[in-house]
Every structure is written in C-alpha cells, then in structure tokens.
Amino acid sequence: MSRGNWATGEDRRLIRFAMRAPMLDREEECELALAWQMERDERALKRLTEAHLRLAIAAASRYRHYGLPVADLIQEGTVGLMEAGYRFEPERDVRFSTYASWWVRAAVQDYVLRNWSIVRTGTTSAHKALFFNLKRLKARMGVDPDRPLSMGSRNQIADEMGVRLRDVEAMEGRLSGVDRSLNAPVADESAQEWQDLLVSDTPQPDQLFMESHDGNKKAVLIEKAMGQLTERESYIIRERQLREEGVTLAVLGTQLGISKERVRQLEAQALGKLRQALTADVGDPVLAGLAGG
C-alpha cells in the first residue's frame, strides 16, 4: 500500500509498525485462532490481529476522502479487526484476511456514516449503499458532481443499485449540502448570524404566561360552578366532559343503574346549571360556553 502524504506523525508510525508485522501462513493463523477460541489466549489474539493491521490501514486510506481524521479511521478499522478476531472460526477453512475484511470495512463505514455530518446520513441499507456509491456512479455517468441528477440518471442509478427512486433523491439532497455553523455570519463583516434568522414556532414567554394564567382561572371558575351540581350530575359531567376520553351514555347508565336516555337528560340538565353559574359569576357568555359541551 502506498503511504502517500495523507498520513502524518502518529499515523505514519502506526503504518510502519503494521508494515513490519510478519505475515502469517494458513497453519500459523489456524493455531493462533484456535488458541484464542479454545484457551482465550490474548497473546494469540493480539498476534493474529497485529499481523492484519494492514487491512485497517487500507480501509482508512480508501475512506480518507470523507474529511475525517485518518487516525480515527484506522482506530475504527482496528475495532472491526478485533471483532473479527473474536468471532473467527478456523474450521470453516476461510483465511482470516478474507473474513476480517468484511468486519473492518463495516466498522469504518459505520464510523464515516456517524461522523460525516451532524445530520444522520443513512438509516437503511439502501441509504448506506447510496452514500458510498453515489459520487462514483455520477462520475462514471459523466455527471458534474456539483450539478443535480436528471430524472433519467436517477432512475438509472435506482435500477443499478436495486433501490427506490425516492432513496436516490433523498441521498442526493443530503450529499449536496454541507454542515454550517449557526454562529457563522450571514455575510462578510456582518454582525448578523444565521441563528438570528431562525423562526421559532414556540409561543413567546408572555403568551405562555397568559395562557397558563387564563387556564388556571378557567379551571377555578369551572370547579366552583361544579359545586352547583348534585353528586350524580357532577359524576356524569366529570366522566363525560372532563376526561380525555369521555365515557359513553350506555356505560354510565349501567354504572348508575339508569337508562342511557336518563343519563343524557341529567347531563343536559347539569350543563345548563354550569352555563348559568358561569354566566352569573363572570358575565362572559364565551366562558360560559365551556359548559356547552
């Protein structure tokens, strides 16, 4: 693997260490894997994984264009390598490098997806496949990477990747944008920041206070008016009007031992009393309308 100029400092030292690690033949590889599998020999596992650190470095090199620290990519690849070491079964007659490559690639890809943007980039296998292949496919089709895809190109990519057209459109939109700090100025030498332009859908503090105050006042008035009702009328109103899901007339009739028509009559009678009490108390027909059902 070419070392290039994409790694510096600590990355280069790790690469040199990986390149000096002796390769294992099939027999040595099997012995080390069995020592870990049967005896939990950590030295055997360490030697097995160190001999294949090249896989983690190769994966880091392959995904370095996503703008993430190379050291972190190598570390995540090493995590995948360790996972492969834990799970490897030499009796399946597969070389460890073949088996571990999948785990290393999966670990690095997962890290890229989690850290490429503060916005979650992909949640399904289709999204992940598109994230890592859309730019390559656009380049192969001769599409300018900075220009949107045509409908024909989107359909072609969807067919080739075996995904839905809307998945292609969604991923194209996500990859076309970049993260922007809300504290960045709107323009050069501007004191206004992007966060100043955000519109809040939440009520203003004074509005919240007034709504809370009015709600408490209404609750007090209604509770006072409820004092004008008989015990049975009060029970019907609470069950029918003041619960999130009101009880049916038939259920209340069964509970009270009366017909549902009688329950309806008592409810209408109680609402009339409430309306009269509220109107007399505040002289406000709108508030009194709260008792109208």
Q: What is the pLDDT of residues 241-275, one digit of tens each?
A: 887 788 888 988 888 899 989 989 998 988 888 88
- Whether residue 85 contacts residue 51, with contact meaning beta carbons closer than 8 Å, is answered with no
Overall CATH class of domain 1-116: mainly alpha
How many other CB atoms are there within 10 angstroms of residue 33's CB atom?
21
For residue 102, what pLDDT is reported? 93
CB-based burial label for 175 (10 Å; 0-12, 13-18, 19+): middle
Q: What is the amino acid identity at position 213?
A: H
For residue 193, what pLDDT is reported? 76
Our CA angle for 237, 242, 243, nearest 5°, is: 115
Question: Which one is the CATH code of 205-292: 3.40.50.620, 3.30.1490.20, 3.30.70.2190, 1.10.10.10?
Answer: 1.10.10.10
pTM for the model: 0.52
For residue 118, what pLDDT is reported? 54
CB-based burial label for 142 (10 Å; 0-12, 13-18, 19+): exposed
What are the domain boundaries of the chain? 1-116, 122-177, 205-292
For residue 239, the SS3 value is helix
How many other CB atoms are there within 10 angstroms of residue 127's CB atom?
18
Q: How far apart are CA 209 and CA 184, in angstroms?
A: 33
For residue 203, what pLDDT is reported? 67
Q: How far apart are CA 171 and CA 181, in angstroms?
A: 21
For residue 245, what pLDDT is reported? 80
- Whether residue 108 contacts residue 68, with contact meaning beta carbons closer than 8 Å, is answered with no
Q: What is the pLDDT along the chain (293 residues), one digit of tens a residue?
A: 444 445 556 778 878 888 888 899 999 999 999 999 899 999 999 999 999 999 999 998 888 888 888 889 999 999 999 999 999 998 888 999 999 999 999 999 889 888 876 555 666 788 778 888 887 888 888 887 777 888 888 898 889 888 888 888 888 877 776 656 667 777 777 777 767 777 666 766 666 666 666 667 777 777 888 888 888 888 888 888 887 788 888 988 888 899 989 989 998 988 888 888 878 766 554 444 544 44
How many other CB atoms are there within 10 angstroms of residue 20's CB atom?
9
Q: What is the amino acid identity at position 253?
A: G
Sign of the dihedral through C-alpha 64, 69, 74, 77: negative
For residue 3, what pLDDT is reported? 40
